[in-house]
Each structure stands twice: as C-alpha cells, then as structure tokens.
Amino acid sequence: MAKVSVGLRGWRFEESEIFSEEGEFKPLDEIPEDARERLVRLVKLVEEPCDACYLVHGDEEIQQCRQAAIVYGEPGEEVLLCSQHEPDFLYWFREAGGRELAGDDIFADAFHEWFVDDGRAPEGYAGMEHVETDPDDLPSPPDASEIQRRLEEGFEGERINLREYGPQDDDSTPLEEGDLDDIDLDTDYPTK
C-alpha cells in the first residue's frame, strides 16, 4: 500500500497501518503508537493557522492568517505552514541549517526565530511537489471527542498511597495520617 497524508500534508502514514480493508480508520488501539500519536495530534492541528502567517500578523490580525495545509517536524515540535510559506521552511531546512535540528525539541522554535529575523526563501525557490488526491476519497478522521473517548476506554486509574513510599520513622513503619501536614505542596522545589 501507499503512504498518505491525512488532514495536513507532510506527515505520511502507511495506509495499511491506519485504514481497515473497508477503507475506514482502524480503532486507535490497532494503530501503531507513532502513527496513533500523529493522528491524535493532527485532530488538534488541522484547523490551526500557518505559523509563518501568525508570526507576521499575530493575534490582532489573526483573520489575515491562512489556515495551515502542511505539517513538518515531530508531534509537539511541529511547524504548521500554508502553501505560500512552505518554500521558506524548505529553504531553512535544506539550506540554512534546519536539517541539523530535525527531531530536536527546539526544531519549531528555531524555524520561528529564523523567520522572525527576516529569514525567507530566495525569490522563485522551489517548494515541494505534492500529489493531490480527492480528499473525499479518504474517510473523515474521528472528531477530537471520539479520539479522547477511545484513549480513555479501558483505562482504570489506580490509587496509590504515597505515605507508604515516603520517609518513615525509626521503627520503619509507614507514616500516620497527619505526619505530612507540614509539607507545602505549592513550594517550587529545585530540580536537576
């Protein structure tokens, strides 16, 4: 089977991993983890504006932003683009050091900084050719509430008594009710 983009171009999925033989989306628990993570993220991204347009127009003129059509990067560190700004991203990725940051958690921020510093592709820089198919031929992905419901299906939380794991007195017995009352849980404790 072929690779396809769903919702936005860029992230490509192996058809057999996400679609059943009937052409419908498989249940989430039958989709490999990486593909499932991207599909769940796409539900949130599909109606977002182009990052570059947003950097130009901001919140005040958000209606001037074009809707994203392309996604690059990893979930959580993705760059959303319209067709007009895709060549700028590709130039940054191919010619201005972006490729070195692929998979890094500063990937999106680095592109945004480059773009804000007037980073642009030279006039006439070639974008990427995408093979367009009729989007009506693909099944609609489940809506966000359906995905959330599927993710929560079958999950049973487990209560853990932290007192059993905390510091113990000299007799090595678990702490009693009230022993941790002096701890301020709102305090910011140092981390590594």
pLDDT at site 24: 87
Same domain, 76 and 102: yes
52 belongs to a structural domain? yes
* pLDDT per residue as tens digits for the range 48-70: 999 999 999 988 898 889 999 99
Structure tokens at 192: 């590594």
**What does the H/E/C string look like for the chain?**
CCEEECCCECCEEEHHHHECCCCCECCHHHCCHHHHHHHHHHHHHCCCECHHHHHHHCHHHHHHCCECCEEECCCCCCEEECCCCHHHHHHHHHHCCHHHHCCCCCHHHHHHHHHHCCCCCCCCCCCCCCCCCCHHHCCCCCCHHHHHHHHHCCCCCCCCCHHHCCCCCCCCCCCCCCCCCCCCCCCCCCCC
* pLDDT per residue as tens digits for the range 109-153: 999 999 999 999 999 887 665 455 555 555 555 555 665 665 566
* pLDDT per residue as tens digits for the range 7-32: 899 999 999 999 988 888 888 889 99
Instruction: Residue 61: give the domain boundaries.
Output: 48-126
Higher per-residue confidence, 155 vs 100: 100
Report the domain count for the chain.
2
Same domain, 118 and 52: yes
Tell me how far apart the alpha carbons of residues 17 and 36 are, in angstroms, rounded to a whole number: 9
> Where among 126, 152, 181 does a domain terminate?
126
pLDDT at site 3: 87
Q: pLDDT band at residue 5, thresholds of 50, 70 and 90?
A: confident
Same domain, 59 and 119: yes
Same domain, 36 and 19: yes
Same domain, 70 and 117: yes
* Average pLDDT over the chain, rounded to an integer: 80
175 belongs to a structural domain? no
Same domain, 35 and 70: no
State what percent of residues in the chain have pLDDT above 70. 65
142 belongs to a structural domain? no
pLDDT at site 37: 92
pLDDT at site 101: 94
156 belongs to a structural domain? no
Whether the pLDDT of residue 170 is over 60: the answer is no
107 belongs to a structural domain? yes
Whether the pLDDT of residue 173 is over 60: the answer is no
